[in-house]
């Protein structure tokens, strides 16, 4: 009679599964192997193998990322107006990057950029650069982050009476 037993050996480095065949000798004419252990997974620890594969995938990812970075740089150099407009409109620029390249940004598109960290200080610092009529006035994040917290019906009424 043959019994099958599945053992799950769990260790930090690997999961090893065994099927152990336990048998009894039926007769002298039939030799049956006793306590034969057959691995479904190699006995070597899997952790080092997976770690090696993870490192190899990281290298491939880095190479692919570097390739894409080179392509983006090439596009930016060959089409600087496109790149500046795209970044001005969409990228969450930090206040330090805005200040550093103040003379290069497309201020109309920057005025529409909902990804900026809008604040009263940012608006006041570049007061003469913003597109007030078609940019800032249509940028919901400017309203939500800067104006809305301070507006009330009475304050809006007061402002409207003065303009």
Domain ranges across the chain = 2-42, 79-162
Average pLDDT over residues 80-108: 94
Q: Report yes or no on whether pTM surpasses 0.75.
A: no
Percent above pLDDT 70 for the chain: 72
With a cut of 50, say whether residue 151 has pLDDT above it.
yes
- Strands 2-10 and 15-23, by their bridges, are antiparallel
Tell me whether residue 37 is exposed, middle or buried, using C-beta atoms within 10 angstroms of its C-beta: 0 to 12, 13 to 18, 19 or more: exposed
């Amino acid at each position: 009679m043959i019994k099958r037993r599945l053992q799950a050996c769990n260790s930090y480095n690997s999961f090893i599964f065994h099927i152990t065949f336990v048998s009894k000798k039926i007769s002298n004419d039939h030799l049956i192997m006793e306590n034969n252990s057959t691995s479904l997974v190699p006995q070597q620890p899997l952790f080092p193998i997976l770690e090696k594969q993870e490192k190899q995938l990281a290298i491939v990812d880095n190479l692919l990322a570097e390739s894409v970075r080179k392509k983006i740089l090439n596009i930016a150099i060959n089409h600087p107006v496109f790149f500046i407009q795209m970044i001005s409109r969409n990228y969450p620029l930090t206040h330090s990057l805005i200040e550093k390249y103040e003379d290069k940004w497309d201020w109309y598109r920057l005025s529409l950029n909902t990804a900026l960290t809008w604040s009263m200080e940012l608006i006041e610092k570049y007061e003469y650069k913003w597109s007030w009529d078609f940019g800032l006035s249509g940028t919901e994040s400017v309203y939500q982050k800067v104006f809305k917290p301070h507006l009330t019906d009475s304050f809006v009424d007061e402002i409207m009476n003065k303009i």
